[in-house]
Amino acid sequence: MALFFWGYFAVLKAPLGTPFLMPLTVVDTWVPFSPLAYPVYVSLWVYVSLPPALQSGFRVLAWFGVWIAALCLFCLALFWLLPTAVPVADIDWTLHPEMALIKSLDASGNACPSLHVASAVFAALWLRAIFTAVSAPRWLQWASALHCLAILWSTLATRQHVALDVLAGIVVGVVFALLSLRHARRLSPTGV
């Protein structure tokens, strides 16, 4: 984890070129800023820890780690090669101290694709596969899907990302999840 954050902040501070400012879309106007989104935004760290915590075998767990690391490296490479940033929001962050912390650490770079969204979608699809494999109650799948959607909303409502970042993050998360789950099913045909 420390290695990831080192790479993330190194890329944020020294991208290959000047960051491209991501455009706003009509979707961005539909989602107002909300300080209530902060706890949902940081809940990503618990949410993405669930699929590895629910693994019964080391081999699939290790490959989960390889695939999520590949997703992160892919996004970091994009952030470095094609740097992007979100437009500065007209918000006084000192009125929202919890958000001021994120804004001071994360600035507005490393925007597209949203790594927050890609990780949440990746975890959601893994959780769906795990819950299906163990015949878990359907409400668990619904709760997981709703949590993932809430995380996606939080990236917009905290003004960390714009809608195009979220869309790109969804695509990255789906692609890496599908590839990794196909690989995991070859390792463990009875389920993830």
CA distances from 150 to 15, 23, 42, 74, 100 (A): 30, 22, 11, 24, 21
Q: What is the pLDDT of residue 157?
A: 96
Q: What is the pLDDT of residue 191?
A: 64
Beta carbons of 113 and 75 less than 8 angstroms apart: yes
Average pLDDT over residues 74-80: 92
Q: Which residues of 169-189 are buried (b: 16+ CB within 10 A; e: fewer)?
A: bbebbeebbeebbeebeeeee
User: If we measure between CA atoms, which residue out of 54, 102, 85, 98 comes closest to residue 165?
Assistant: 85
Place of tokens 């101290």: 97
Beta carbons of 1 and 49 less than 8 angstroms apart: no
Q: What is the pLDDT of residue 160?
A: 92
pLDDT tens digit string along 4-43?
A: 767 776 776 777 788 899 999 999 999 999 999 999 999 9
pLDDT tens digit string along 134-155?
A: 999 999 999 999 999 999 999 9
In sign, the C-alpha dihedral spanning 140, 33, 165, 101 is negative
pLDDT tens digit string along 44-64?
A: 999 999 999 999 889 999 999
pLDDT tens digit string along 153-183?
A: 999 999 999 999 999 999 999 999 999 999 9
Continuous H helices in 93-137 = 97-106, 115-133
Continuous H helices in 18-134 = 26-30, 37-42, 44-47, 50-53, 58-81, 97-106, 115-133
Query: pLDDT category, 97, cuts 50, 70, 90?
Result: confident
